[in-house]
Amino acid sequence: MDMQEFVTRNKAEFIEQAITDNLNKRRRCRFCDTIFYISEAKIFINADQEKIICCPNAPLCKGTIENWSLTLF
């Protein structure tokens, strides 16, 4: 699946609205095992023009928001 990174000045606002969570919370990607702040996530657009919130290591990592787990620290 080809995806292109979506670049916007309002990245933080877009992510906050999409997931209704604090950007300073940490998550772990189950694909690449990276621990990151939600604010570090990337936004990509797929072939259907849908915006998808992805792991900060995308496109090398295929993890999306559905593949993140909570961290306790």
pLDDT of 73 higher than 70: no
Average pLDDT, the chain: 90
Distance CA 69, CA 61 (A): 15
Task: Tell me the helix, strand and coil percentages in the chain, rounded to 5.
Answer: 20, 30, 50
Distance CA 23, CA 59 (A): 21
- In the chain, the percentage of residues whose pLDDT exceeds 90 is 74
Question: What's the distance, CA 1 to chain centroid?
Answer: 17
Q: Which domain holds residue 58?
A: 4-70
With residue 53 as reference, give the H or E element that holds it.
Answer: strand 51-54
pLDDT at 62: 93
Q: Per the structure block, which two tokens stand in for 50?
A: 């849908």
Domains contained in the chain, number: 1
* pLDDT tens, residue by residue, 17-33: 898 888 999 999 999 99
